[in-house]
Chain A
Amino acid sequence: MAPILSVRDLEKTYDGGFQALKSVSLDIREGEVFALLGPNGAGKTTLISTICGLVRPTSGSIDVGGFDALKDFRAARQLIGLVPQEMPTAPFEMVADTVAFSRGLFGLKPDPALVESILKDLSLWDKRDNAIMSLSGGMKRRLLVAKALAHEPRLLFLDEPTAGVDVELRHDMWRIVGNLKERGVTIILTTHYIEEAEEMADRVGVINGGEIILVEDKAELMRKLGRKLLTLNLSEPLSALPASLAQYDLTLASDGTSLVYTYDTHAERTGITSLLTDLSSAGVRFQDLQTDQSSLEDIFVDLVKSG
């Protein structure tokens, strides 16, 4: 299946000379949730803004659903909905009016029934006749989603949908994304909350310094780059590591009651068998053991540091 979004060699250098995007190429599959991770200033928002037509690319091409985003901007933009990072709203407009306005901008006839169903889905229907400035922050964010959905886009950009929101609202947003995905909407979200990508994404892309440094299936990424920790709870505290165990990547917890062994699940040999053998010959006995897989966050930090 052809990708719904295909970005090729996209570059953006701002007038001041700052190069925000360096030869970015990216394919997004229809129906997936793609999380774009990156630290502040990595180029996430510039990439989204360029695809959506808010920033003019220096070079490269953008194809949305088979339409060139520059030459055929009307057809391309018709497929795209954008929820920006900041919450820009016209303070005095009414909720239902502003959603209808968004639909009109896309050249579509008014459809009050659709506006009603969007507002109900996002729990905003009770507020339809209120001025936007009377809404809470969470409602405003949902309203921006409603506006972006008013023309029934196939591809939705969520730029930091949960930046600075409380836990409840974050879960709310995850639920909304889940519903949209079920309906077949392709979603690209940027975030620097790793747990968000872990929770929602099918694939993860990491951008740093204007370059895409990695695109990977989320589960694959976590498996491939994942490191595991083996924690051994000792029967008797140790004051120091026995010299015979020096060859292992071991750390002794400060109170001496547990040993932590770090290993790579992808390596040919994890070293666990020989470690356990050496432990027993050194006379170290343990009561219990557990393993922990490193989170996407650890992977991300590693990537950005080495990049």
Chain B
Amino acid sequence: MNFEAIKSIYLAEMARTRRTIMQSIISPVISTVLYFVVFGAAIGSRITEVDGVSYGAFIVPGLIMLSLMTQSLSNASFGIYFPKFTGTIFEVLSAPVSFLEITIAYVGAAATKSVLVGLIILITANFFVPLEIQHPVWMAAFFVLTAVTFALLGFIIGIWADNFEKLQFVPLLIVTPLAFLGGSFYSINMLPEFWQKVTLINPVVYLISGFRWSFYGQADVSLWLSLLATMIFLGGSLAIIHRIFKTGYRLKP
């Protein structure tokens, strides 16, 4: 293992975060606080509680999940797309660095950033509503697994995209709608019965449900189903990345 190379790429990516702190840390926090104010304070005053939890507290896990997913995606996809776009990727590809090491470094850095953003949101939320975390170990597990899984997905998108439009396509047109419709701001039990069933084909439902369970001990679907869904996501992303590296897709003609 070329640990020095992993460290170099990881630190260079983190340095990029520091240079762009407005865009990478502050702006997701601000937009989450806005969600929080609009949904929690304005709408929440009309919905007193969901399954025994105040609405303001209820949406916190969903909000964190939403930003974990979108941040991991955009960090990782941009992180690998940008060197491809400028051409500097040649340096990494011609160095004695394996594809596994490249993935660990880029995905690790992207996941670290989104975990940081998620933690900041968690701390911020703590000022607005009383939070309780009933199962901290599960909470940490879902937190990290989601960050890593979506960073892997973002990495795939970054390799696949050959223009900026494609880079934005998946996050904006697929993941964001799935996250909003996956119960970030509501319990799927609040939906009509038909839509409850339809919602179950949305994989994000399982992630949010499991994460919310680790906070308040109540979930839309069973915990094990949530864990299974997360693992399928993770496994699927790893399989695609393995395939990409095997064939040199978009990286090595």
Q: Closest CB of chain A to B145's CB: distance in Å?
A: 29
Chain B interface residue number, banded: 20 to 34
Contact between chains at A77 and B96 (CB < 8 Å)? yes
Chain B residues contacting A100 (CB-CB under 8 Å) are 8
1/0 per position for A68-109, CB-CB distance to B under 8 A? Answer: 000001110110101010101111110001001111111111
Q: Mark B1-21, 1 if CB is under 8 A from A, else 0.
A: 011110111001001100100
A72: min CB distance to chain B, Å: 10
Interchain CB contact (< 8 A) of A105 among B95, B248, B253: B95
- Please give the number of chain A residues whose Cβ is less than 8 angstroms from any Cβ of chain B in the complex: 34
Q: B8 contacts which chain A residues (CB < 8 A)?
A: 100-101, 103-105
Q: Which residues of B contact A77 (CB under 8 A)?
A: 94-96
User: Does A41 sit within 8 A of B, measured CB to CB?
Assistant: no
Say whether chain B's binding surface is mostly helix, strand, loop, or mixed.
Answer: helix
Q: For A105, give the chain B residue with the smallest CB separation.
A: B95
For the complex, is B92 an interface residue (Cβ under 8 Å from A)? yes
Binds B, one of A49-57, A183-191, A216-224, A272-280: A49-57
* In the complex, B91 has a CB within 8 A of chain A: yes
**Quick check: which of B70-78, B82-90, B129-137 contacts chain A, the rest being far away?**
B82-90
With an 8 A cutoff between CB atoms, is A126 at the interface? no
Tally the A-B contacts, defined by beta carbons under 8 Å: 79
A52 to B95, CA, bound (A): 8
For residue A68, give the distance in angstroms from its CB to the closest CB of chain B.
13
* B94 partner, pick from A52, A75, A89, A101, beta carbons under 8 A: A52
A147 within 8 Å of B by Cβ?
yes
Task: Please name all residues of chain B whose beta carbon is closer than 8 Å to the beta carbon of A104 when the two chains form the complex.
Answer: 4-5, 7-9
Q: Does A15 contact B (CB under 8 A)?
A: yes
CB distance from A85 to the nearest CB of B (A): 10
B10 to chain A, nearest CB (A): 10
CA–CA, A120 and B208, complex, Å:
55
A248 within 8 A of B: no
CB interface residues, A 97-135, toward B, < 8 Å: 97, 100-109
B46 on interface, CB distance cutoff 8 Å: no
Chain A residue nearest to B3 in the complex (CB): A107
Are A86 and B87 in touch, CB under 8 angstroms? yes
Q: Given the complex of chains A and B, what is the CA–CA distance between A73 and B2 in angstroms?
A: 12
A14 vs B16: C-alpha distance when bound (angstroms) = 34
B231 on the A face (CB < 8 A): no
Contacts known (A74-B2, A90-B86, A97-B15); A102 close to B91, Cβ less than 8 A: yes
- Tell me, in angstroms, the Cα distance from A102 to B93 when the chains sit together: 12
Q: How far is the CA of A15 from the CA of B9 in the complex (A)?
A: 30
**With A and B bound together, what is the CA distance between A73 and B101 in angstroms?**
14
* Residue with the highest number of chain A CB atoms closer than 10 Å, among B83, B252, B253: B253
For the A-B complex with A55-B253, A75-B96 known, give 5 more contacts whose Cβ atoms are closer than 8 Å: A53-B94, A54-B90, A77-B96, A101-B8, A106-B5
30 contacts between A and B (CB under 8 A): A14-B253, A53-B94, A54-B252, A55-B252, A56-B248, A74-B2, A80-B94, A84-B87, A86-B87, A88-B86, A89-B88, A90-B86, A90-B88, A91-B86, A92-B16, A92-B19, A100-B8, A103-B8, A104-B4, A104-B5, A105-B8, A105-B9, A105-B92, A105-B96, A106-B5, A107-B2, A107-B4, A107-B5, A108-B4, A147-B91
